[in-house]
Structure 1
Amino acid sequence: MSHATEGFPLDAPMHGSLLPAAAPRESTSHVIAEALRAAIVDGTLAPGAPLRQDAIARHFSVSAIPVREALRQLESEGWARAAVHKGATVAPLSADEAREIYEIRSALESLALGLAIPNHSAATLREAAELCRAAELEADPSLYVARNAAFHMSLYAPAGRPQLEDMIELLHRRGERYLRLKFGLPSYKGESDTEHAALLDAVERRDIAAAQSLVVSHLLGTGELLHRFLTERAREEAALAHQPKPRGRRPRVTTGS
């Protein structure tokens, strides 16, 4: 990525627009937001990286208006931060935020499960089982995030509570970067798959109490794991930053004969 100094990394010079010429503004801003979100998730845009409107607009060959809308959306979801006279930057990873996201998810998803389980049918259970298996087999981190969310949402869809579903989906989006960290720890990915299978089994048995207990334990455990991981990483980075830099060997001074 060669243009990081422009505030948005570009793979190569652009030739024409990346977006459909007739795309309405809302669709354009959505595409830009999704692209920025993907770049943040895969690490192309690191925490603290500037998100300059002019650079992003040039990259997508659009005006500043849909870019502003995309950045506003990312800020509302916790992906970006805006400061007066400084513009937007990629939001930093926060141990406390990660834990809180999963604490809130545990409460909302437990509620959604209790409402959904009596309404599950053979068809919805079959779909949930297929999504659970797809998440277990997924090896690509970015795709795993999407498959994980799809499995969870399939468990709650029969609740018929669209506002509750929207709130849960928003928290899933805010937690995508953090879930990717967990995926990077293979043993914990395996534990998640096992927990998903147990949760699905409880839903299939229509055991509301067991399913709610399992989803709360699963989500709170993930939140605590991420909090611990990020706290330890921040401590290590702080220790490295305070280490004295090794002094280079002083150049030899030679005199002419």
Structure 2
Amino acid sequence: MLLGACRESGTASGTALYVTTEFDPTLLLTQVRVWGEVQAGAPFGPHVLPEQPVRVLSSGETLRVLLEDGVTNGVHARVYVEGLRDGSVVARGESSVQLRDGYEVDVTLRLEPSSPDTFCLGCDGCCEDGVCTPSSRTACGTGGNTCVTCDPQRTDTCDARGVCVCGSNPACSDLTVDRCVGGQCKCGSSGPCAQGQECVDGTCRCTSNSCSGCCSGTTCEPGNTKDKCGKDGGTCRKCSRSCNADRSCN
């Protein structure tokens, strides 16, 4: 599944839904969660897109939901989408559409505030239990959206957009960091970890989450050489003859 997907109109690319999401920009959505079910078929999802909330989404964002081929033409699919802001649901929408086997079909969903208590009309700050509240680190938000509490470990302020951030940077959500210190994302007391490392309890380590090759101590190696062979973040092995293409020893 893709957020911000592109396509050539009318081109067959397998059985799929091409979903357009529309919403009030003041909702400041950072992710969407999509799921649904095909009539007399298996459910799909839920999927959260994008995986990390790195930017505020724009109304009109699109995503593609790939379905299994072989559906009967004309059967209905029900699609549900939730708009998330810093992990909290602030809007919802749903729709149904008839499918065509082997083709994409369009579906447009309008995401509306999930309930009166999570959206305050005419509010410059955020909405907490139906009450307009000035935006702050413990009640972050603007435009009458639901107030959220900023993570004190990975953020240090609520910016003018009503988004929890670390200084002028996004919240420290990357694998290479675990805390916000003085407006900078760090691992422990040091800077971000190197590529191929994960920050674990304030220490940079080579793990299965961060390294597709093999780990030599805290360093992620490609894992395709005789002296350092391996994959999926396992310990590098020294092969007696050679390292195979699948990064196993020969």
| RCO higher in structure (CA 8 A, sep ≥6) | 1
Q: What is the TM-score when the length of structure 1 is the normalising length? A: 0.23
More strand as a share of residues:
2
